[in-house]
Chain A
Amino acid sequence: MNQPDWNRIANDPDFHALQRAKRRFIIPATVFFLLYYMALPVLIGFWPALMKTPVIGKVNWAYLFALSQFIMTWVVCWLYVRAARRWDIMNAALLAKLGH
């Protein structure tokens, strides 16, 4: 197989659209999950009294917030997979257009 013309693909508007679509999801999602996650050690480290407050029975904010991290991870994961399906379609169309 001949080497594809990388520069031509890189300058293709559809490739730019694909890249933009990915960045539009990945950058905000990364910032969000890092902030959401780092909020846990910050709250625990600097506002321990608040986090020790019981909410449901003996279960306190600290444990509930930790548990919510699991749910957050799965939700972001699911959103990513959903978005990636769209990218796969864009990608397939781009490669088909360029004959690869």
Chain B
Amino acid sequence: MFSFLAQAAAATAPAATGFQFTPALKMFLAFVGVTLVITYFSARKATGSAAYFAAGRSIKGWQNGLAVAGDYMSAASFLGISGIICLKGYDGFMYSVGFLVAYLTVLLIVAEPLRNAGKYTMADLLAYRLKPRPVRAMASLSTLTVSTFYMIAQMVGAGGIIKVLIGVEFVPAVIGVGVLMLVYVVFGGMLATTWVQIIKAILLMCGAFALSWMVLGQHGYSLGQFFDSVSTATYGGSKPPVNLLDPGLAYGATEKNPWGAVDFLSLALGLVLGTAGLPHILVRFYTVPDAKTARVSVVWATAIIGVFYILTTFFGFGAATILKLSALPLDAAGRPDGNMVAPILAKTLGGEWFFAFISAVAFATILAVVAGLTMSASTSFAHDFYTNVIHHGKEHRPGQEVRVARITAFVVGAVSIFLAIKLRSLNVAFLVGLAFAVAASANLPVIVFSVFWKRFNTTGAVTGLAVGLGSSIALILVSPSVMGTDPAAMIQGAPLFPLKNPGIVSIPLGFLAAWLGTLFSARDMEAEAKFAELSVRSQTGLGAEKATSH
């Protein structure tokens, strides 16, 4: 690995002559400085499992709302969505809608029972009445898979973005992000990770408002004029006008792809059901004192996220009325890279310092989200796999669980850095979709059945998790995202599955497998007897984990 890094560094060194102490770099450093101070103070509080994994369950509702929003408004959301709306118009805006509506699934079905009945992870809820070891092992595998996929996508994106924004080369940029994130997670635990997320969410909202206002200013602060321009967007006069408000630019059915409409449906299903199974969102509900606060935090998150995604109208569609396509850098496949739309729009409208601010926000976003992902992955490994699967739920020495989590964070961080560098030239955006698909197909069915279905048993949980996870991965591997006949495709050959988004098949499969697995195995009387306990716990909050006092 090190020789590889050295080679990469040598290969990129001559290009790095343009390195300057730019305003963007100064703002990055200011953000990093503030977050390191937070980490230092968090580290002094992060003793003991509840403090490390769940910030002592002392986070306030609005704070957690901001943190949930922060975890959710990832680089993929901010940079990716503004890019896809700019290039594909309305079909990109569908992501904005789906990402928000998904919070109703979180609020109505998952948040409160999870907070009431769990401790640190999603698997806690499942392990209450099912056999803990097989269920936790599978849930941990699914959590690690989702987190790692999501993280690689963020890291590869990060490397490319940082290179454009501050002129640091790909490899050192990825390593830098990885190391910083490890500092937050390893020393500061959930408390530091949460505060990094809160600060970033506030910065991101400010940036989104300012950018939107400037875009509207270009259209005389008139919504009518704005939408008129969007319906005849010309990319700064560089293309014939196109109506970006019309759906179908990305997912319309064409001769070449008759499956567009179904793929769109599949995407929508994955978005709306996936969020409620994303481990880094779920762990957030353990950082608040009780289920009522968990509810308040989802409401805050929904309000903030909703406003943010409505604003994508302005800096997404709006970009297409202002930016020339030639202003965008090219991606690996030689097409204009949508990820750069928001920062370049900021530069065009607000000058160097505003560009610096938006770039710093983008960087903060990446850093905060990878920290959140590492935190959830290492919590699941330490709590579910190490303590409960290997050691039957007993800590041999106090503090061991936290120590294992810290070591896991290192391993997860190192593996992600390594894979991100290895996969740098591939288009890994589909990994985000894959993470949502796994979350919706594997995690959501078992959470729902565990809380609502008395007969549900261990076999059902394990088959549900395994089939949901396996089918999502398998379908993506043979989908047009990975297989293709053009040279850029990862696997050569005609795709065996026509859809890019597996949700419409894999989500029903996950539910079906959990259901059939239960019906075709012996009734588990112990699990059914404990259903009463789980119902009372999840509905009333009786016996729920309390906030620790500082």
The distance in angstroms between the C-alpha atoms of A74 and B303, with both chains bound, is 7
Contact B264 A45 (CB under 8 A): yes
Contact B299 A91 (CB under 8 A): no
Contact A74 B231 (CB under 8 A): no
Number of interface residues of A (CB under 8 A): 51
A-facing residues in B499-550 (Cβ within 8 Å): 532-533, 535-537, 539-543
Query: Across the interface, which residues of B come within 8 angstroms of A100, CB to CB?
Result: 542
The distance in angstroms between the C-alpha atoms of A57 and B260, with both chains bound, is 28
The distance in angstroms between the C-alpha atoms of A76 and B541, with both chains bound, is 23
Contact B542 A4 (CB under 8 A): yes
Q: Distance in Å from the Cβ of B502 to the closest Cβ of chain A?
A: 15
Q: A38-B265, A45-B264 are known contacts. Are A74 and B542 too (CB-CB below 8 A)?
A: no
The distance in angstroms between the C-alpha atoms of A58 and B543, with both chains bound, is 56
Closest residue of A by beta carbon distance from B246: A52
Query: Across the interface, which residues of B come within 8 angstroms of A6, CB to CB?
Result: 532-533, 536-537
The residue that B268 contacts in the complex, of A3, A38, A73, A77, with Cβ under 8 A, is A38
Closest residue of B by beta carbon distance from A15: B536
Q: A10-B532, A15-B540 are known contacts. Are A40 and B303 too (CB-CB below 8 A)?
A: no
The residue that B245 contacts in the complex, of A40, A62, A91, with Cβ under 8 A, is A62
Q: Distance in Å from the Cβ of B541 to the closest Cβ of chain A?
A: 7
The distance in angstroms between the C-alpha atoms of A100 and B542, with both chains bound, is 8
Contact B94 A40 (CB under 8 A): yes
Query: Across the interface, which residues of B come within 8 angstroms of A4, CB to CB?
Result: 536, 542-543
Contact A22 B247 (CB under 8 A): no
A-binding segment of B42-50, B100-108, B277-285, B338-346:
B100-108
Contact A48 B248 (CB under 8 A): yes
The residue that B247 contacts in the complex, of A10, A52, A81, with Cβ under 8 A, is A52
Q: A9-B536, A91-B541 are known contacts. Are A73 and B302 too (CB-CB below 8 A)?
A: yes
Contact A59 B540 (CB under 8 A): no
The distance in angstroms between the C-alpha atoms of A40 and B549, with both chains bound, is 47
Q: Is B354 an interface residue (CB 8 A)?
A: no
The distance in angstroms between the C-alpha atoms of A80 and B98, with both chains bound, is 19
The residue that B94 contacts in the complex, of A41, A42, A48, A73, with Cβ under 8 A, is A41
The residue that A51 contacts in the complex, of B247, B306, B533, B541, with Cβ under 8 A, is B247
Contact A44 B224 (CB under 8 A): no
The distance in angstroms between the C-alpha atoms of A63 and B267, with both chains bound, is 18
The 11 listed contacts between A and B (C-beta, < 8 Å) are A6-B537, A10-B533, A15-B540, A29-B104, A30-B109, A37-B98, A57-B227, A58-B245, A66-B97, A74-B306, A80-B107
Which B residues have a C-beta under 8 Å from some C-beta of A? 90, 93-94, 96-98, 100-101, 103-105, 107-109, 224, 227-228, 230-231, 243, 245-248, 251-253, 260-262, 264-265, 267-269, 272, 292, 295, 298-299, 302-303, 306, 309-310, 532-533, 535-537, 539-543
Which A residues have a C-beta under 8 Å from some C-beta of B? 3-4, 6-7, 9-11, 15, 18-19, 22, 26, 29-30, 33-34, 37-38, 40-42, 44-46, 48, 51-52, 54, 57-60, 62-63, 66-67, 69-70, 72-74, 76-77, 80-81, 84, 88, 91, 94-95, 100
Q: What 8 pairs across the A-B complex have the smallest Cβ distances? A: A45-B261, A10-B532, A58-B231, A6-B533, A41-B268, A44-B247, A41-B265, A37-B101
